Amino acid sequence: MNDQPTGERITVVGAGVMGVGITALAISRGLPVLLVDVDGARLADARVRIDGELRIAQLLGKLPEGTVTGPLETATTPAGAADATIVVEATTEDLAVKAKVLAEISTILRPGTPLVSNTSSIPIDELAGFARRPADVVGTHFMNPPYLIRTVEVIRGARTGEDTMLALGRSLAALGQEPIVVRDAPGFVTSRVLHPMINDAARIVQEGTAGVEDVDKLMENCLGHRTGPLRTADLIGIDNLVDSLRVLHERTGDAGCRPCDLLLEKVRLGHHGRKSGRGFYEYAH
């Protein structure tokens, strides 16, 4: 991959919703990206989805003026990440999966290269224990889609080094993102507040108190929630939401974080939200 003026060379591991979003953001800023996923078919599909994200960003006027799109490479193994200046792990919200990726990648990277977990709920210091150099591990929680939401939650673990924080700050500046640094804890700030609230909104629908659209309209028009909690669930991915709630429930003991039956049923049916074409709402694909 050719160096850009910033010198950033980004590797993203995981070609799911967030991996695609982060990759689209990076190449829209002219930065080179290596996107890694063990599933070759998913990588091929990711290229199509990234092109779609870029078209939407352009239509919305969110692409930087005059920037040439950065080069995108894909691979089914992380070997090419050796020369990365930053690696973002964006795999599913599952401790075993993330632990395996962090352990493998940390043996490839040069010491001092930030190893970023884009997790929504798993404590960063817990993840850092699987890496060869815990000081290189730091957390981010990009919102979806990243090209529309410029603020990113950054989680500093107990062992995250100062050099790692500085390097991450440079990378986020190159991506045009504004970091807000928080302390490590299950769910951090955004997920700890938002995900139980979405769970409650789904429970209200489950109990028959109000319908999906009415719940969202009340939250949007009375309380200023931009998209409504249930439409937000579709954007997050209901399967990802359930995984995050389980992590929160296991690590906090908060009964309000136990996924309600309606969310579990939607996951069972494959109604994962926007990415599957159906969740609380239906979407044209």
Q: Are 89 and 16 in contact (CB under 8 A)?
A: no
Across 253-281, b (16+ Cβ under 10 Å) vs e yields eeeebbbbebbeebbeeebbbbbbebbbb
Give how far Cα 138 sits from Cα of 88, 117, 202, 223, Å: 10, 6, 32, 33
Q: Is 195 designated active site? A: no
142: left (phi over 0), alpha (psi -120 to 50) or beta: beta
Give how far Cα 130 sits from Cα of 18, 98, 136, 266, Å: 22, 9, 11, 32
Peptide bond into 145 cis (omega under 30): yes
- Rounded-to-integer distance, Cα 117 and Cα 95, Å: 11
Q: Catalytic amino acids?
A: 141
